[in-house]
Amino acid sequence: MSDTMIAMELTHADNLTPDQLMVGDLIRIENDIVEVISISTDGTGDNYEVETQNEFGEKEFTKFIYNATIPFYVFIEEGE
């Protein structure tokens, strides 16, 4: 039986607005790729607060306005 190592590459897939984000998404904030932990909005839907966690387990809240664009990343399997 042959063992195969699968290489995964983190790739920019799209730019999303805050209302398109989902828990578990990988996004870029400043120079860090972080995972979305929670998303909340004020009553008007104009302002969003996104809780994220980095690779070291550190959590942070970031505020976005409704029309902000947020870089969205996915892992892509590299071919042989």
Distance of CA 13 to the CA centre of its chain: 10
Closest CA to 11 of 74, 80, 79, 78: 74
In a domain, 14, yes or no: no
In a domain, 25, yes or no: no
**Mean per-residue pLDDT, 2-31:** 90
Q: Is the pLDDT of residue 78 over 90?
A: no
In a domain, 20, yes or no: no
Q: How many domains does the chain have?
A: 1
Domain span at residue 50 reads: 34-80
Q: What is the DSSP string of 12-69?
A: EEEEE-GGG--TT-EEEETTEEEEEEEEEE-TTSSEEEEEEE-TTS-EEEEEEETT--
In a domain, 60, yes or no: yes
Q: How far is residue 7's CA from residue 43's CA, in Å, rounded to a whole number?
A: 43
In a domain, 77, yes or no: yes
In a domain, 24, yes or no: no
Q: What predicted TM-score, i.e. pTM, was given to this entire model?
A: 0.86
Q: Is the pLDDT of residue 3 over 80?
A: no
In a domain, 39, yes or no: yes
pLDDT tens per residue across span 17-51: 999 999 999 999 999 999 999 999 998 889 999 99
